[in-house]
Amino acid sequence: MLRSVIERGVLVAAAISSAAVFVSPGVALPTTRAAETTIATPANSAPSTSPCPAGTFADGLVCAKLPAFPFDLPESEAAEAAHRDRRGTFQVYEQIPRRPERPSDYQAYRYPIPPGVEGGRYVISGYDLDLPDEAQRRGRKLRAVGHGGLDLPQARGTPVKLIALEAQQGDAEIVYVGALFGTTVVTRHTLREGGRLRDYLVLYGHLERPATGIAAGSRVADGDVIGYVGDTGSPELVHLHLETRRVREGVDVTKLSPVRLLDATVSVVNDPRNVLPRKP
């Protein structure tokens, strides 16, 4: 049996039988019947008209929990790009540029730390691996050409909180804690993208230290503290390096050595604006 619940003008389809309910092409709501709460009614009386708790709806004599509404991101297409490295060697690489429907303004998104730039801004150095060679970041003290992440300045010791990505399914998992971009915490997030599940890595780099209890294999939810802002591996600036990478299909990053997480055969660097949650 199917019921449609209209709340604030939005039609929410709920799966009540074992049949899948499709809300958009290729995206099905869960088919497992959710936990139910019986509606107490006097003997021989009609079912109560009292409203069910928030997040549920009346289904006969029970309050059935609404299944999570699956939010599906469009497929992010990888593209070829190139630049000359510090030695002048021409390098071709794969990267995922910002999708055109995603805001270009970094201020449109949520971040793991409060803004640290004058005027309430967050980012002092953005993603540029999709730009022409001459427009990519270079510096005498920088080890690499181009920037595959975002640099967010803040005071030393500021708590870094995990950010749940858009279309994320469940909590994130810690896959690595240790040296990478200085002291780094790497998390794995499973997203609905293009009608299927895809894994993404988020790198939180240059931390002063990880938070207590943060270790590979632990699960973390949106808002959990995973570390503290520092300058390990980047003594010129106290800041957070935030990078996102899409894991290639068929790769289980938990079975790889940490040095391989950034390997082009394992993951593809991604413009963080594709997956960071937008501000309300």
Query: What's 153's domain CATH number?
Result: 2.70.70.10
Residue 220 placed within a domain? yes
Q: What pLDDT is recorded for position 60? A: 60
Residue 256 placed within a domain? yes
Whether residue 114 is found in the same domain as residue 25: no
pTM here is: 0.74
Whether residue 51 is found in the same domain as residue 83: no
Residue 280 placed within a domain? no
Whether residue 31 is found in the same domain as residue 142: no
Give the Cβ contact number of residue 116 at 10 Å: 20
CA angle (165 as vertex; 180, 271 as ends), nearest 5: 60
Q: What pLDDT is recorded for position 162? A: 98
Q: What pLDDT is recorded for position 44? A: 36
Whether residue 60 is found in the same domain as residue 93: no
Q: Domain end: 37, 65, 93, which one?
A: 65
Whether residue 55 is found in the same domain as residue 126: no
Residue 212 placed within a domain? yes
Assign residue 139 a region: left if phi > 0, alpha if psi is -120 to 50, beta otherwise?
beta
Percent helix, strand, coil in the chain, to 5, is 5, 40, 55
pLDDT bucket at 20, cuts 50 / 70 / 90 = very low
Across-strand partners of 172? 220
Residue 1 has pLDDT above 60, yes or no: no
Q: 3-state class of 60 per DSSP?
A: coil
Residue 194: phi and psi, rounded to 5, are 60, 30
Whether residue 41 is found in the same domain as residue 176: no
Count of domains forming the chain: 2
Residue 159 placed within a domain? yes
Give residue-wise pLDDT tens across range 134-192.
888 887 667 777 889 999 999 999 999 999 999 999 999 999 999 999 999 999 999 99
Residue 103 has pLDDT above 50, yes or no: yes
Whether residue 50 is found in the same domain as residue 27: yes
Give residue-wise pLDDT tens across range 27-77.
333 333 333 333 333 333 333 344 566 545 556 677 665 444 456 899 999
Whether residue 21 is found in the same domain as residue 119: no
Give residue-wise pLDDT tens across range 188-247.
999 999 999 999 999 999 999 999 999 999 999 999 999 999 999 998 899 999 999 999
Q: Output DSSP code: residue 101.
A: T
Whether residue 180 is found in the same domain as residue 229: yes
Residue numbers of the domain that contains 95: 79-274
Residue 74 placed within a domain? no
Q: What pLDDT is recorded for position 65? A: 53
- What are 29-38's contacts with CB under 8 Å, separation 24+? 29/67, 29/69, 29/70, 30/67, 30/68, 33/64, 34/64, 34/65, 34/66, 34/67, 35/65, 36/62, 36/63, 36/64, 36/65, 37/62, 37/63, 38/62, 38/63
Residue 70 placed within a domain? no
Residue 125 or residue 142, greater confidence: 125
Whether residue 264 is found in the same domain as residue 152: yes
Whether residue 153 is found in the same domain as residue 236: yes
Whether residue 61 is found in the same domain as residue 107: no
